[in-house]
Structure 1
Amino acid sequence: MINKTDFPKLSLISVNGVELEVFEAGRQNLGKPIVLCHGWPEHAFSWRYQVPALVDAGYHVIVPNQRGYGNSSRPTEVTDYDIEHLSGDLIALLDHYGYEDATFVGHDWGSMVVWGLTLLHPNRVNKVINLSLPYQERGERPWIKFMEEIFGGDYYFVHFNRQPGVADAVLEENTFQFLRNLYRKNEPFREPQPGMAMINLARAETPLGEPIMSDSELAVFVSSFESSGFTGSINWYRNLDRNWHLLANVNPIIQQPALMIYGDRDVIPKSEKLTEFVPNVEVVSLDCGHWIQQEKPEETNQAILKWLEQWEM
């Protein structure tokens, strides 16, 4: 268990027209930057187990709460959360610290941002480590349109886009219950329920499976979202089709060395085409669900450090 008091102290840093809440550790390791990018609905604190291990391994660890999260800025315009803005924040963060490039690590939506960042700014990324979400191929149809055709209007990606504000309000009314019910492992199999999954989860009075964190750890996430609300973070989803257009003329192949870490019990499927788009990728699978670095912290650290070691030689 890691308490908030053990986590690095925060700094508020002005970059790219916003203010980011950044947790930094290992300044004594200047020159070896690694940037950890959280997913949804997460927080920089989701990397609490990785920070000390990476510092001990000689890295300057930079962990932002990205725009829309925590005490970072929450612009009101939906388009301020597209991949150009999100990747622009990370590039500006590198500039702030005086780095030409860095290793970027992402989980869930953070992985989507790291993949997009690497496509848009390949010279600023030296290595890629992503958890849970593999590279998403840019198909012939925009992503939300494609998902709507396959999964229907209640699929939460689609719902967030087609019914703006509805889910935001439900999650904000039930913040503790939603996050408590979401951060679970070893959940029994259930047939899909009618309705929108995230709204159902927020309204469910009884959680399934086992918690992945202590009450004090969960309180960090609950407190953050009670303060920020959910709209800024959900606006990331509302830019998927915009991102599809923004990436139209970008070389889709990622040449950087990459590590992809899957959870074998994750609901996100593994990619069958990963090596077509990320030819220099190594794949590791762990026996866990979606919250990989929090469910299996030691195994995650071991996989990351073992992979990074080979590039130090």
Structure 2
Amino acid sequence: MKTLLYKSDPARGKVWQKILAEIAPEYRFIQWNDLDFSDGDPAIFAEVDFLVSWIPPENLADRFPNLKVLFSVAAGVDHFDLRQLPASLPVVRMVEPGLTQGMVEYVTFAALALHRDIPQYLQQQKQQLWQSHPVLGAAKRRIGVLGLGELGQATLKMLNNFGFECHGWSRSGNAPEGVTGWAGVEQLGEFLSHSDILVCLLPLTEQTRGTLNAELFAQLPKGAGLIQVGRGQQLVAEDLLVALDSGQLRAAVLDVFDPEPLPAGEALWQHPQVWITPHIASQTQPETAVTALLANLQRFAQGQPMHGEIDKTKGY
């Protein structure tokens, strides 16, 4: 029997435990919160084969001598200190249909709201102002997505169905069918100039930290909209506020922040052109996440590549 240790939200863990007991009883599932640390690390640590975690414990190699794979409960691994992990330990981010569907739903909602000027109409409602504005057809609205991973690809496919002119940027520029792909730093400026609505779905790395700044905003078409669902550390909030006040950007939908929760009194809370949600754009769904985990465990057992396994040198 293989042992799987779960170190994340306990309530979600109970759902995982129930599902695994029903469909994969060959795995022994242990919750971190159920362990007794009164005499130091529990003896069971030596038997752990797989660790599923949000923030993994320190000294993995010493504490878990038989650990074979570290799984993230999230779509990214920026909450892991990759430098502290054993070089030979595979690290796998969560790729599961429920999480992907949630992100597609959120970005689609936000893109359609910006496309149809809903933030402006909500402000007019507060003023009891009855005033219409020209409606631009979807085919005349350009949407650009920064990041062409699992979430970016799925989001662009959905937006493309609405008839938007869709663009995607990444290191490789590997965009889905019907989407114009842009690759590398040398094409970033041209990509931005084709983004009336910009969606950030980049992973957090040293290269993407602070990416959404004044220099980037200046390269967008005047009056562009921003949807930030990547990571909070990618956004320079002060630069965003300046861009909104100058009219370079007309509205922003923000789901991630640095720090989180966003402190009371921050200017973003009060800005009339900013919509804020508390990091809820996409959440791992227990049922589909367990299915994805089991599929990867089977791949590992068969010596096949796991879906979502990261390149530690890139950080994603």
Q: Give the alignment's TM-score, normalised by structure 2.
A: 0.31
Determine which structure has greater relative contact order: mean sequence separation of CA pairs < 8 Å that are 6+ residues apart, divided by chain length: 1
Alignment TM-score, normalising by the size of structure 1 = 0.31
Q: Specify which structure has the higher proportion of helix.
A: 1
Structure with larger Rg:
2
